[in-house]
Amino acid sequence: MIAKALVAPFALLAGLALGTGAFAQTEVGTIVVSDMELPYVQQYCEDLADAGLGSDPEEREPSPLEEVRTPGVVLGSLHISDCKEAGLIEG
């Protein structure tokens, strides 16, 4: 019983440490985007491309709803070149 109590915290820690690598993430520019946020980031990138905007993200401000959907990503900091390099849009 005592052995199980001593080993359990280490097993839990090892499981958590190994599990973090399994969570899929995509890097867009310098920002790491989770799988949950990726569809919203991709839509934002497509909006940038559809509007024909250059590489200046200041020309299109994300809506408050877009910002709420992507709390870990500051959409306004993404450039169209970041979207292209990540493969979210063609170019």
Residue 11 in any domain: the answer is no
Confidence of residue 21 (pLDDT cuts 50, 70, 90): very low
The count of other CB atoms within 10 Å of the CB of residue 44 is: 24
- pTM of the shown model: 0.64
* Number of compact structural domains in the chain: 1
Residue 5 lies in a domain: no
Average pLDDT over residues 62-72: 80
Determine the pLDDT at residue 22. Answer: 47
Residue 64 has pLDDT above 60, yes or no: yes
Answer yes or no: is 82 within a domain.
yes
Q: Comparing C-alpha atoms, which of 45, 46, 41 is closest to residue 71? A: 41
Q: What is the chain's mean pLDDT, rounded?
A: 75
What range defines the domain where residue 31 resides?
24-91
Least confident of 25-29, 32-36, 55-59: 55-59
Q: Per-residue pLDDT averaged across 13-35, rounded?
A: 71
